[in-house]
Structure 1
Amino acid sequence: MPGGASCAALDADGGKPVIEYKFAAGDKVALVANGSNVNVRPGIYTIIRRLPITQIGCQYRAKSALDNHERVVDEAQLRRT
């Protein structure tokens, strides 16, 4: 996938991409801010749901444990807690 997306791999035949999300709804994750989105508040989040795959890669709807604010986050910004 463009942009080095980490959520897809090729199937055994080397053809179609197979989606492999790292996280599921209910998972607790640590969000690490990066240069692509300086407005995101780092901290602990709960995955609310997976979003459809885009050219950016896997994305999730996540809720902050600090302020209960929900936002869309890229998988590349998330780490297991």
Structure 2
Amino acid sequence: MPLLSHKFKVGQMVEFLPGPRDANVPRGRYKVQRLMPSETGDPQYRVKHAADSHERVIAESQLAAEPGVWRQASSGNGPIS
């Protein structure tokens, strides 16, 4: 299945937004390791937890850009939206 348009990029820090069934998944900052294909229409990411280094696959709908993070764009600096 082809990759959908992903909101986040490899190397970007994101915040995990857990759902009711994610009680055992550590909250906090994750680093995007790889863009994954989606079987449900919601792009997925392989991410690594910043504190414990465990990797897992999380859907884009459960991630948010880390507040206050800036990226280098070809036209200059700008906020990640």
Higher RCO by CA contacts (8 Å cutoff, separation 6 or greater): 1
Residue 53 (structure 2) aligned to one of 57, 68, 74: 68
Uncovered stretches (5+) of structure 2, i.e. residues with no partner: 67-81
**TM norm structure 1:** 0.71
1:29 aligned to 2:14?
yes
Residue 44 (structure 1) aligned to one of 29, 38, 41: 29
- Cα RMSD, aligned residues only: 1.6
Q: Give the number of equivalent residue pairs.
A: 64
Letter in 2 for 1:67: D
**TM norm structure 2:** 0.71
Residue-by-residue CA offset, 1:22-55 (whole Å, 9 max, x unaligned)? 0111010001111132221110000000111211
